[in-house]
A and B are shown apart, each in its own frame.
Chain A
Amino acid sequence: MSFSTYFTIISYLMAGAGLAASSLTLAVSPLFLAAMAALLIVCFYLHLKGRFLSIPKLLWNIFAVLLLIFFIIDYFFISNLLLESASRFLTIIMAAKLFDLKTNRDYLTLYILVFFQLLAASAATASLSFLFVFMLYIVVGIWALVIFNLKKDWEENAPQEQPMPRSILGPKFFMAAAGLAVLSMFLTAILFFIIPRVGTGFLQRKPGEVIKISGFSDRVDLGDLGPVKLNERVVMRVGLPELDKAPANSIYFRGIAFDNYDGTSWKQTKRDEIFIERNNAGVFTFRGMSDMGYILKQEILLEPIGTDVIFAASFGAAVSGPLPRRIKIDNQGSIYLPLQPHTRIEYTAFSVVSQDYNEMTMPSGSGINAVPERLALYLQVSEGSESIAELAKMVTMGIGDPRLKAIAVQEFLKKNYRYTLNPEKGEGKTPLDDFLFYSKEGYCEHYSTAMAIMLRTLGIPTRLVTGFLKGEWNRFGGYLLVRQRDAHSWVEVYLPVNSSQWGWLTFDPTPSAESAGEVQTPMSVSSLYLDSIRWRWNRYIVHYTLMDQIALARNIDIRFGSVLHNIRGVFNGVKNFRSKLHKTDIAAPISLLVILPFFLFVLWKYFKNKEKTRFKERVPRFYVDMLKLLNKKGIRKPAGKTPLEFAAQLNLKEVRDITDLYLMIRYGKHSICDNETVLVKKSLVSLRKI
């Protein structure tokens, strides 16, 4: 393969990398990309065959201007999105440039366009695909730059029209270029983690696609969660750093709590929000870390799901991470961001996971009469709930303990109703009536609504909560993969938790999907592995922050701290020895003994090298030494006399010998040998004696 063919292939690979980068900008249509790819292939074929479409310069300039005008129209009137318009513009320019690859400048322009396509992709997407395109760009880019530079240097320095030697580009060259690419990736990774992260600015990444999920707004209609539970799309990834395997108990990721039921939908009637600011440690703390349970730390990567709610395991106590300066919390314990996010967000949540209510000992004498007035809204029931009240009384007949009543209602619902995502419509006036008395089937919303209303009719404060339950454990990444199908609703019941405290306890009347016969298909191993890579990509690259850098630095410090400590110990030992030494009389002699041999060695080495090079120089110094010697004796060589004439004039054998040797070295290609060195030395010694 000739050099020019090779260079063409590399350049078109670069163009391909640019096209791949453009494809990451989601708003650029696949049809457009396919057209550009076809154009690229056609150009490549024509280029290889040596058939060029020669575009006159004027035509090219006119085209470029028209394209620029189109870009402006595209941005201001069509897409209104700078990145998409710019990406299209760059791609078209790049494709057009492929028709005009003649000079080195043209090739360089092509490489620069590809670079800007990659830059546009970095601003437009956070997808894992960017990593692959980036790595492809590094490999191809390094090859292209090296070859381009060699070509340019050759053309500047080599004789005209002489082709580049083919032997330059052997298999070893490719391997070396690949090695450089690997080295570059390695250095890139190190530098990426080292470069300090500071603040954010006004040109944020373009908002990602928002997943609209029902059930997490101010109002949720009964039946909203059903369609959601059919969707496999990932909503969040929850890392549990303190656990190295799937949690034993299901984790309820709490979203929003609702207090008012009007017969068909749940609402938040009064959302008293308070703003929370970070404490000195940078953490938003809104609940005491009491001894009601254990603290569960979660590292959550939440996709934009069209809500400002922050999810955390029940019950969230604190939140930290790259969040706005203030967050909100309402009177029902739901946590909100100031604004709905349009990109993935990452944060760390600390939750107090309650003790299992089955294990709690009920304090004696506590009863419903102890409910505070502020919780009266959690006793609200809609009109026509009399039948539900009767059912609740029947279920809890003979039970006085409110907690046991709650358990009884929960078990009743679990055992007597069928779980299905497609409940049949019965004759009931409301969906809840349908569920309880007619169809007797439904899903989590029905179960939790039923339990909430039944307990309210018994005078037990209860509220409905929506969120996510459990998720799928990804063993490759060590995190829970929570999808839309994991959306769930349950109830929180206000009950005494110990002798002096009342609190909200989580109850879930919905039977598990497995026990209901609904088997959820787990992800394949390859999908889990890919998702773990995606998670790591988001966690450690896309959302890498200053806090992560500090944590990394601390880790390194801890790991290497022991090594440094040992090294410091050695130096301290030396220091102590030194101080002892200085107090004695033997400090100076010891210092002398240490330093003197070192300097003597340096001196010896210097003179040895000097002696060696002196007689091997192209311009022999010994001839100059001879002239100086003679000069001292009053014999000066006239400028007009040649060395041989001068030697003939003096008629001294030593001068003649030195002169002959001098001329042979200086004007011939003679290298002085050892014998001649000895001869010269002897001659100089003799001359000194004259």
Chain B
Amino acid sequence: MFPFRLTLSAPFPFLMWAAARLAKIGVFKTKEIKKGHFFKLPRKIAFTKFGVRFTILLLVIGIAAINTGNNLMYLIVAMMMSLIIISGVMSESSIRGLKHSRALPMHVFAGMPVNVQWTVKNTKRHFPSFSISLNETSPDISELSGCYLIKINVGVTVEKAGAYIFPRRGIYKLQGFKVSTRFPFGLFLKSKDVDSNMEVLVYPRIKPVKQSRRHTYSIGASADGDAHKASGGGDTQIYNIRDYVTGDDSRLIHWKSSAKANKLMSKEFETEKRKGVIIRVDNIEPEKVYDGFYEEFENMVEDAAALAAHFIKKGFYVGIKTFSGDVPCRTGTMHLYRILRLLALIQPVKPAGGHDAGAGIKIIEL
């Protein structure tokens, strides 16, 4: 009896609000509750500099009006208060009813500006949105340029480019972004947080190939040089017919086999087989981690990425071996991305059986 009686006694509007919150945030799945999310305000309002001064002026004039009993000053105070109310209503109207998303390119490199494609649609029926800013809220990345849209008409979708920089390689979990406006009078910055989870895999930086002090690598005389000419014929013999990989030279496609297999098949020549290297990355964590180790480790990973890019560009078959996993020898741009994916995630490990910690990168010619 008691819970029902309590429910009936509760004010109905509160019940409606509580039910709506429960439905929205999924309280029934406890693991998904964010801390404090139930009480999270849907909007944030912050005073701008001008807004602070405006409010102080309002208070001063209000006190003067009360002190003097001058009704015309009360009129001015009322006007200032009305501007604050209108500011709240219009700013809400601006950021409400917007559908927004961001898209990053498929391949992202650390330390390089990344174009972010913002898409914003005004789904309202009557009111345009003014002076909208979209800014990433994730603390790990640097925003070179945010997204600012001065006006979004009703029903219109606007695309705008921004630029991010991811400082390091690895997986970034973008949590969301903030939509804000100072429209109409610049008194307040009204913003709402948009949850937009996104994982971005950031490849290591690819810099020009060079020799480092700590990481030694050697390249066979025949391994370096001009890119091989994959002429697909001539004085080379077909060594193998394999599945076509994106990035392979289209002249290497074996059409007869492709027709039979009902998928693209690529010819492999003996000369291609010879032009291959395996980049061995010894990602070993020493027993005692010395100062600067991790920095050197990052440099090593970047060197490995640079080498892989260098060789693939020259037409080599490149594979990679690490203590965290391998990538077999292939060629082509897509294969490079596979290698970079591995390198993006690689971390120092302690292999069983011990190893020489100073090995670094080794290039093994095939």
Contacts and interface: CB of A to CB of B under 8 A. Distances in A.
A153 B48 CA distance: 12
Interface of A: 108, 118-119, 121-123, 125-126, 130, 134, 138, 142, 145-146, 148-150, 152-154, 157-158, 164-165, 167-168, 180, 183-185, 187-189, 191-192, 195, 197-205, 541-544, 578, 582, 587-588, 591-592, 595, 598-599, 602-603, 605-606, 609-610, 617-619, 638-642, 644-645, 666-669
B106 to A, nearest CB: 5
Listed from nearest, the 7 A-B pairs whose CB atoms lie closest are A640-B325, A201-B67, A157-B148, A640-B324, A591-B4, A187-B82, A122-B72
Contact of A642 (B7, B341, B347): B341
B72 A582 contact: no
Contacts of B76: 118-119, 122, 134
Interface in B298-355: 322, 324-325, 327, 338, 341-342, 345-347
B118 interface: no
A150 B78 contact: no
A119 B57 CA distance: 11
6 contacts: A149-B182, A149-B184, A157-B146, A191-B82, A203-B64, A642-B341
Contacts of B74: 192, 195, 197, 544
Given A602-B19, A618-B197, 14 more contacts: A122-B72, A125-B72, A130-B72, A168-B150, A180-B90, A187-B82, A188-B81, A191-B82, A199-B69, A201-B67, A542-B71, A544-B71, A582-B5, A638-B325
Contacts of B82: 183-185, 187-188, 191
A598 B346 CA distance: 52
B103 interface: yes
Contacts of A204: 68-70
B289 interface: no
A666 B71 contact: no
A145 B185 contact: yes
Given A146-B184, A541-B75, A591-B7, A641 B70 contact: no
A164 B75 CA distance: 35
B27 to A, nearest CB: 9
Contacts of A617: 197
Nearest to B147: A157
B333 to A, nearest CB: 14
A154 B85 contact: no
B4 A588 contact: yes
Contacts of B166: none
Given A150-B183, A183-B86, A188-B79, A119 B322 contact: no
B75 A134 contact: yes
A153 B182 contact: yes
A200 B197 CA distance: 59
Interface of B: 1, 4-5, 7-8, 19, 22-24, 26, 28, 50, 61, 64, 66-79, 81-83, 85-86, 90, 101, 103, 106, 130-131, 133, 146, 148, 150-151, 182-186, 196-199, 322, 324-325, 327, 338, 341-342, 345-347
B105 to A, nearest CB: 9
Q: A-side binding surface: helix, strand, loop or mixed?
A: helix
Contacts of B66: 198-199, 201
Contacts of B50: 108
Contacts of B61: 119
A547 to B, nearest CB: 13
B78 A152 contact: no
A640 B346 contact: yes
A592 B75 CA distance: 54
Contact of A153 (B67, B148, B196, B347): B148
Given A606-B23, A610-B26, A618 B198 contact: yes
Given A165-B150, A617-B197, A618-B197, A180 B184 contact: yes
A146 B185 CA distance: 5
A119 B65 CA distance: 11
A543 B75 CA distance: 12
Contacts of A543: 71
B106 A667 contact: yes
B194 to A, nearest CB: 12
Contacts of A544: 71, 74
Contacts of B338: 642, 644-645
A123 B71 CA distance: 9
Contacts of B148: 153-154, 157-158
Contacts of B325: 638, 640-641, 645
A200 B151 CA distance: 47
Contacts of A108: 50
B71 A541 contact: yes
B69 A200 contact: yes
Contact of B199 (A167, A542, A619): A619
